[in-house]
Amino acid sequence: MKELPVRKSIRLKGYDYSQAGCYFITICVEDGHEILSQIVGADDPVRPSLELTDIGKIIDDCWHKIDDVYENVHTDKYCIMPNHFHGIVIIQETGGQGRPPLQKILQGFKSVTTRNCFKYGFRSIWQRSYYDEIIRSEEAYRNIWRYIDENPAKWAEDEYFVKYKNLDA
């Protein structure tokens, strides 16, 4: 029987992901399905916009509820792309509760969003893991904020872009 490959951890070894700080996260839809939003006005030279699907609206709602669940966690700039999600999570120093690790926050977010999407026929909508980057400076924060803000305009160049196939052809 062939052995399965060992999955490498993409987390920073030895880093405490519950410490106060800013984190840039990307969560991808399983198999790259474009179920969260669509880009409207992609040819607009000024700025295209995102139109959320019903599933994208669930994602949007659940993202905003993270602040209510954890008193010392703040969700900041985010973007719901057709097949992935970018956001900034800020874990603050203050608060009566212990600070939850980023993994717990995102596990809860992914679990709740998936549960709310069962009615659309999805057992799972997210890939198994997520990508994170520790934001270590004000300049890095501004660059990431700008990247998230400009992401819809650069959809055709995005690494997660999948060209729509005409199934009727």
pTM reported for the whole predicted model: 0.83
Domain that holds residue 136: 21-156
168 found inside a domain: no
Reduce the DSSP state of residue 139 to 3 states and report it: helix
9 found inside a domain: no
Reduce the DSSP state of residue 17 to 3 states and report it: coil
12 found inside a domain: no
**Cα–Cα–Cα angle for 111, 102, 152, rounded to 5 degrees:** 75
80 found inside a domain: yes
Reduce the DSSP state of residue 148 to 3 states and report it: helix
| pLDDT (0 to 100) of residue 45 | 60
DSSP 98-129: PPPPHHHHHHHHHHHHHHHTGGGT-S--B-S-
| pLDDT (0 to 100) of residue 93 | 84
169 found inside a domain: no
Token readout for 62 is 């659940």
Which CATH number fits the domain that encloses residue 135?
A: 3.30.70.1290
CA count, 13 A, side-chain hemisphere, 139: 0
**Cα–Cα–Cα angle for 61, 69, 60, rounded to 5 degrees:** 15
Tens place of pLDDT for every residue, the chain, 169 residues?
556 554 445 556 777 888 899 999 999 999 889 999 998 876 666 677 899 999 999 999 999 999 999 988 999 999 999 999 999 999 998 756 678 899 999 999 999 999 999 888 888 899 988 999 999 999 999 999 999 998 888 887 766 665 433 333 3
Domain count, the chain: 1
127 found inside a domain: yes
How many angstroms separate the most distant Cα atoms in the chain?
59
Say how far residue 55 (Cα) sits from the centre of its chain: 13
CB 73 within 8 A of CB 97: no
| pLDDT (0 to 100) of residue 167 | 32
Query: Based on C-alpha coordinates, what's the Rg of the chain?
Result: 17
Say how far residue 8 (Cα) sits from the centre of its chain: 20
150 found inside a domain: yes
114 found inside a domain: yes
